[in-house]
Chains A and B, each alone.
Chain A
Amino acid sequence: MSINATLIGQMITFALLVWFTMKYIWPPLFDSLEERKKKIADGLAAAEKGQESIVLAEKKAKQVLKEAKEQSSEIVSLAQKRANEIVEESKHTAKQEGERLIISAKAQVEQEIQQAKEGLRKEISTLAIAAAQQILGAEIDKAKHQDILNKVSNQLG
Chain B
Amino acid sequence: MATEAHAAEGATGYIIHHLTSLRVGEGFWSLHLDTLFFSALLGGLFIWFFKNAAEKATAGVPGLMQNFAEMIIEFVDQQVKDSFHGHSKLIAPLALTIFCWVFLWNFMDMFPVDILPGIAGLMGIEYLRVVPSTDLNATFAMSISVFCLIIFYSIKIKGPIGFAKELMFQPFGPWLTPFNLLLKVVEEIAKPISLALRLFGNLYAGELIFILIALLPWYVQPLLSFPWAVFHILIITLQAFIFMVLTIVYLSMAHEDH
Contact = CB atoms under 8 A, between A and B. Distances in A.
Contact of B43 (A13, A33, A36, A38): A13
B28 A5 contact: yes
B77 interface: yes
A22 B89 contact: yes
B96 A21 contact: yes
B229 to A, nearest CB: 25
Contact of A18 (B29, B74, B94, B136): B94
Interface in A1-47: 1, 3-11, 13-18, 20-22, 24-26, 28-33, 35-36, 38-39
Given A5-B30, A9-B36, A26-B93, A14 B136 contact: no
Contacts, number: 122
A6 B31 contact: yes
B141 A4 contact: no
Contacts of A33: 70, 73-74
B46 A6 contact: no
Contacts of B25: 4-5
Given A11-B144, A11-B145, A4 B31 contact: yes
B59 A25 contact: no
Contacts of B40: 13
A64 B96 CA distance: 60
Contact of B141 (A7, A21, A30): A7
Residues of B in contact with A, size category: 35 or more
Contact of A22 (B46, B59, B74, B94): B94
Nearest to B77: A30
Given A21-B93, A22-B93, A29-B53, A10 B31 contact: no
Contacts of B94: 18, 21-22
Contacts of A32: 57-59, 62, 66, 70
B47 to A, nearest CB: 6
Given A26-B93, A32-B58, A6 B50 contact: no
From A1, A16, A21, A39, name the one whose CB has the most chain B CB atoms within 10 angstroms.
A21
B102 to A, nearest CB: 10
B31 A29 contact: no
Contacts of B74: 33
Contact of A1 (B47, B57, B136): B136
Nearest to B149: A18
A5 B69 contact: no
18 contacts: A5-B25, A5-B28, A6-B32, A6-B35, A7-B144, A10-B39, A11-B142, A13-B40, A15-B145, A18-B93, A18-B145, A21-B47, A21-B93, A21-B94, A29-B53, A29-B57, A29-B66, A32-B58
Interface of B: 25, 27-32, 35-36, 39-40, 43, 46-47, 50-51, 53-55, 57-60, 62, 66, 69-70, 73-74, 77, 89-90, 92-94, 96-97, 101, 132, 135-138, 140-142, 144-145
Interface of A: 1, 3-11, 13-18, 20-22, 24-26, 28-33, 35-36, 38-39
By Cβ-Cβ distance, the 5 closest A-B pairs, closest first, are A10-B141, A35-B59, A6-B137, A32-B57, A22-B93
